[in-house]
Amino acid sequence: MECLDSDLLRTFVAVTEAGSMTEGAARIYRSQSATSLQIKRLEAILGKSVFERHGRGVIMSDTGRQLLPAAKDVIARLDEVLRDISQEAVAGKLRLGIPDDHGRAKLAGIIAAFTRHHPKVELDVTCALSTGFPDALDKGLLDLAVYEVENPSQHEEVLFEDPTCWMSSAHRDFSADDILPVALFDHACWWRDAAIESLEARGKPYRMAYSCQSVSGVIAAVEAGIAIGLLGRTSLHSGLSVVGRNLGFGDTPASKLVMGASESQQDGPQVAMKEAIRVAFSVKL
């Protein structure tokens, strides 16, 4: 008889709690394909399905409902043993900055896992617009931060690179507009600067039809057909289309999600969190 692997059970619980393979994969820092393979492996061992497909998500089957309490108990006991063994290894305080939009779900998962594994570390987390994070690191107000830049410095570690492109609603054609409506960030940041530089290089009239301080706000304006916007390619979905070349735009830069650290603190909590973030972003977003 084959044995139930705790790693398979952890994947099962993550997908159950998230309600979808995609969100469950993000919680355990795996790709969606790897997560699906693990669920198939679990079902092969059990000889029964643990999930039923439901729209874009999944719901538990009768077998899944029977398995869930035991799976949660096993994971909780293993986490408790790990805490008991490792809790003396890392202790202290860590002030962490994470961006309000990009990668928020993944970073939230990292923080949850880190807290379970290092319960003696006191986390002070700032979740906000990341434009001020580099300055906060320089002034010693943060110990570690994740943020976006166009050109990383030698002290910034690149976690993820996302090409930018001009997008519009898939249901709106701007090719006949004499003055192009655009959605821009309303604060000084490289995203806004890159968009304006691209618009000026195009050499045709434009107007700011919408401004917002968050990525989700710009995406909402573009989806609604109010304007076009410069966004990361990871934001592209069926309701949006890439329109840069069609409207006469040239190449635009890629966004780099980086990790920066304060030189004033290079202790256990910072080292442990750096490693947790690296491991999570080694899996494709």
| Assigned superfamily of 92-150+257-281 | Periplasmic binding protein-like II (3.40.190.10)
Parallel, antiparallel, or unpaired for β 228-232 and 180-185? parallel
In order, the DSSP letters of 153-176 are: -TTSEEEEEEEEEEEEETT---TT
As a whole number of angstroms, the distance between CA 268 and CA 147 comes to 22
Question: Tokens at residue 204, please?
Answer: 């045709």
By the 10 Å C-beta count (0-12 exposed, 13-18 middle, 19+ buried), 136 is classed as: buried
Per-residue model confidence as pLDDT tens digits over 245-273? 999 999 999 989 999 998 766 678 898 89
Per-residue model confidence as pLDDT tens digits over 92-123? 899 999 887 655 667 777 887 788 778 888 99
| CATH architecture of the domain formed by 163-252 | 3-Layer(aba) Sandwich (3.40)
* Sign of the dihedral defined by the CA atoms of residues 132, 137, 139, 141, in that order: positive
CATH class of 6-86: mainly alpha
Tokens 């972003």 correspond to what residue? 281
- CATH 3.40.190.10 residue ranges for the chain: 92-150+257-281, 163-252
Per-residue model confidence as pLDDT tens digits over 156-207? 999 988 899 999 999 999 999 999 999 998 877 888 999 999 999 999 999 9
As a whole number of angstroms, the distance between CA 60 and CA 41 comes to 16
Question: Tokens at residue 215, please?
Answer: 């990525």
Minimum mean pLDDT among 2-6, 167-171, 203-207, 239-243: which range?
2-6
As a whole number of angstroms, the distance between CA 204 and CA 248 comes to 9
As a whole number of angstroms, the distance between CA 116 and CA 114 comes to 5
Chain mean position to CA 123: 19
CA torsion angle for 196, 201, 205, 210 (degrees, to 10)?
-20
Picking from 24, 38, 281, 267, the residue whose alpha carbon sits closest to that of residue 144 is 267
